[in-house]
A and B are shown apart, each in its own frame.
Chain A
Amino acid sequence: MSAVVPPAIAAGARAPVQAGAPPLVVAHVAKSFDADGRVVPVIGDLSLTLNEGEIVAIVGPSGCGKTTLLNTLCGLIAPDSGRVSWFGREMSGQPAGVGYMLQKDLLLPWRTALRNVMLGLEIRGVSLSEAEERAHVMLDQLGLHGFADHYPTTLSGGMRQRVALARTLVNEPDVLLLDEPFAALDFQTKLLIESDTAKLVRESRRSVLLITHDIEEAVSIADRVIVLSKRPTRVKAVYDIALGTERTDMIAARESAGFVDYVRRIWADLDVTRN
């Protein structure tokens, strides 16, 4: 692990940042919701660690609390108990240097692709010309050269999700929290975007926590797959994925020898029974 303190965190840090601390440590987090006066425990007792430059996938049965977990991590909701530490610092509220992306692209329809990508930079007060420059570079890197002035309604689903990815990456987050970002895409588009995402984040050694219900996606892209149990959710199993291929090519990953075995074991863990 590198001891370099990520700039986005260091810049905004008031409490000292522990050099070499993992980007994200979740310790014994629990969360319940109040549904019509009934207390529904959603996250039971959950602990996990995300190391630097690592892609970790979280799979779990639908409705088990994956989105709730992600919302807790990025400070949108507060956990009932437990700790969330970013780079060794315990946080409540919005962590700096964390990018968030959902299945819905959430592009603003009144902004062009370029202006959508510029949103986070604008919010942080980056000058317009610099924001424009960086957004252009990001769109080009995601293969959207020439689509900067397109409004979202004129783009395909895959391209819209690329713009959303550009909007996240342009802020140069140290950690990406992705909540089923590719779930709505067709198979082919999905493979291409997964590969490009893996390439971009591995090149820059960003850390990624990817939530998905797609076991094949998890195995092909991640270094580690964490399987969650049903509600109240906790970690059921952890798999270190060693496929022996270049981890930026999703097609090669899916064709590699160990792939099917991992998928089968995780599938068994998920315990999808017909009730």
Chain B
Amino acid sequence: MNGSPLPPRAAADAGIDAAAQDAAARRLAAHRRARLRAGLLVLASQVALLAAFIAFWEYMTAFDKQAAFMFGSPSAIAGFLVTMASDGSLWRDTYVTGVETLLGFLVGNVIGTLIGLSLWYSRFVSRVIEPFVIALGSIPIIALAPIIIIWFGTGLTSKIAMSTLSVVIVALVTSYKGAVGVDADQINLMRTLGASKFQIFRKLVVPASLTDIFAGFKLTVGFALIGAIVGEFMSSSEGLGHAIFKAGSLYIIPKVFAALVATIALALILTFIVGKVERLLMPWRRLG
């Protein structure tokens, strides 16, 4: 083709014009500032709410020994956090539970996502296994804990297995939903470009499912953590679940809360990491 380029037309098309672009940049900056202000206001309100709650809790338990025993008090919880941090048990328990959660999360999501995506290949197979997946998904994982301990022992493996099982069905279902939800016209387009089924899978279905897969990741961070902690409840010698269970059976309620604070922090850190990886892997989502 010996085509002549048509830049002026595209420029008109895109509405490119220096003055307009300048004004647009200024508007964008103003918009950003407004958004930042709104974000700061939300954050300030959240901090204030939390502070008020903690103050109320402290006040209610400060002069009431009974209440302090039943509900703990923020200062006692803080005290336990400091002791646990200085004797190293806080870090050790958080690390153990973190490793179990992370491994369960990874194994469960890798297996679940691989199966979920590959089910796109065969409508027949997915219809055959659908009722089984639903049945397995409805089993409360805690009911499996005794069997898991018999099968995998009382060490790390059984916690990872619990965590994996809490994740795998959700990962399978979300990734399968993502895969079959791909626009039929988009598949037709790939076919008219001559794509094989595998090319359609790799170049269209997998990347198009990423949004759903990551939605599954965010959901399953929490499930993986619950699985690990439930596993630790059943039998363990370390981990946050172990700390919670032990403090609970000894009626040291502030210590239970201290371990819970560490659990929440762990969940937040893992969720944050998933969000970071998502933004890294899907740069186009940040735009537009």
Contacts and interface: CB of A to CB of B under 8 A. Distances in A.
A154 B288 contact: yes
B192 A145 contact: no
B134 interface: no
A18 interface: no
Contacts, number: 104
B185 A94 contact: no
Nearest to A156: B14
Contact of A71 (B3, B188, B195, B210): B188
A143 B1 contact: no
B186 A106 contact: yes
Interface stretch (B5-13, B83-91, B229-237): B5-13
A123 B192 contact: no
A119 to B, nearest CB: 6
B105 to A, nearest CB: 24
A62 interface: no
A52 B14 CA distance: 34
B203 A74 contact: no
Contact of B3 (A108, A159, A200): A200
A141 B6 contact: yes
Contacts of B283: 151
B6 A143 contact: yes
A94 B192 contact: yes
A143 B287 contact: no
Given A100-B189, A141-B5, A151 B13 contact: no
Given A104-B185, A145-B5, A154-B287, A76 B191 contact: yes
Contact of B10 (A104, A144, A154, A199): A144
A275 to B, nearest CB: 30
A20 interface: no
A127 interface: no
B195 A123 contact: yes
B19 interface: no
B130 interface: no
B1 A110 contact: no
Contacts of A145: 5, 7, 10
Contacts of A110: 207, 210, 282, 284
Interface string B200-218: 0001100110100000000
A122 B202 CA distance: 12
Interface in B174-207: 183, 185-186, 188-195, 199, 203-204, 207
Given A100-B189, A106-B189, A123 B199 contact: yes
Given A76-B192, A159-B14, A153 B288 contact: yes
Contact of B185 (A102, A144, A192): A102
Contacts of B138: none
A2 interface: no
B249 interface: no
Nearest to B196: A123
Interface string A102-131: 101010111000000001101110000000
A119 B193 CA distance: 8
Contacts of A152: 284
B232 to A, nearest CB: 39
A99 B13 CA distance: 24
B66 interface: no
A158 interface: yes
A94 B194 contact: yes
Contacts of B191: 76, 94
B194 A162 contact: no
B287 A140 contact: no
B5 A100 contact: no
Contacts of A204: 1
B2 interface: yes
Nearest to A141: B3
Given A76-B188, A192-B13, 5 more contacts: A110-B284, A119-B190, A120-B193, A122-B203, A151-B288
19 contacts: A76-B191, A99-B192, A102-B189, A106-B186, A106-B189, A108-B204, A108-B208, A109-B284, A123-B193, A141-B5, A142-B10, A143-B5, A144-B10, A151-B283, A153-B284, A153-B287, A156-B13, A162-B10, A199-B3
